[in-house]
Amino acid sequence: MSTWRFLDTGPASGALNMAVDEALLEGAAQGEPVLRIFGWEPPALSFGYGQQPWREVDLDKCRAAGVEVVRRLTGGRAVLHWEELTYSVVCREDDPQCGGPISHTYRRIGEALVEGLKLFGVEAILERARPRALRPRERGVSEPCFSSLARWEVKCGGRKLIGSAQRRVRGAVLQHGSLLIGPQHRRLLELLPAGRGEGRGEAARHLEEGSICLRECVDGPVDLARLGQCLAEGFGRCLEVEMRPGGLSPAEEERAAELMELQYGNPAWTGAVRNLSLSHG
């Protein structure tokens, strides 16, 4: 039986969370596959690699609300990480469980997430999805991640529960995604720039209708520690692997600290200033 590392790194800043993901990705070719779960403290707004934050949201509003701004290594749309548990999967592109074509990786990870959620008592399903085109009247705002659809979606009650994004570099795969615990992700629309109100009501409706949080799927409070253990067990069962709990290695911690200082904690790299020229090593 293959072995995966299971890391519960707890809550951290957006800059550190994204730096850890990249540090793990850099070591994926030499190490075991990794399932990592974590939270965000303070709340953070993450953007896809190709987005320009100062065009998408009002950065002053973000600062006033205590929301950090960070750029992800992966693509996709903006996500407000507030009341959520986030997962990361890092593996080789030829990994026997989750490697292969992009859609296959999405599906296998989705199946494992669904298995973990079912152990937690959630009637989740994995559904093949088609992207929804924005209508002309909605184009005044950038569509949030949780009102859009990717290749495979983890849903509960017909609405999206987990939003994911993927990146592949040098033969390795990073896929990470947000498991919504509460409804705070919907406050993203409050952070839009002035003058971007056209279509906001429609976008809010699609966000409300298209997403659901875990508190709406279970009775009683959400025990995050138990949820994390259920996800790890779900991956182990679905992928037929042994999940080995552990922590970051000293080398991974050192690399993450370096990436946080040079990139993810750097306003110029993040895109919190205009006329940014992106570069990435």
Residue with tokens 């800043």: 13
pLDDT at 134: 45
pTM for this structure?
Answer: 0.87
Place of tokens 């974590």: 38
User: ∠123-127-129 over CA atoms, to 5°?
Assistant: 145
Give the phi and the psi of residue 97 in degrees, each rounded to 5. Answer: -90, -45
Say what the pLDDT of residue 192 is.
85
At 196, list the tokens. Answer: 């971007």
Alpha-carbon distance values, 98 to 92, 131, 183, 230, 258 (Å): 8, 23, 30, 19, 29
How far from 191 is each of 20, 186, 241, CA to CA, in Å?
26, 10, 42
Six token digits for residue 91: 């593996």
Concerning whether 62 is annotated as a catalytic residue, the answer is no
**Domains of the chain, residue spans:** 2-270
Among 62, 91, 98, 145, the active-site one is 145
- In angstroms, the CA 217 to CA 207 distance is 17
- What's the pLDDT at 209? 75
Please state the length of the chain: 281
The pLDDT assigned to 1 comes to 77
Sequential DSSP letters for 170-236: TTEEEEEEEEE-SGGGGGGGGGSPTT--TTHHHHHHHHHHHB--GGGTSSS---HHHHHHHHHHHHH
pLDDT of residue 193: 84
Phi-psi region of 53 (alpha: psi -120 to 50; beta: other; left: phi over 0): alpha
Ordered mean pLDDT values, 10 residues apiece, the chain (281 residues): 95 97 93 96 92 83 94 89 97 95 96 98 89 46 47 92 94 96 90 66 72 93 96 98 97 97 89 46 36
Check if CATH label 3.30.930.10 holds for domain 2-270: yes
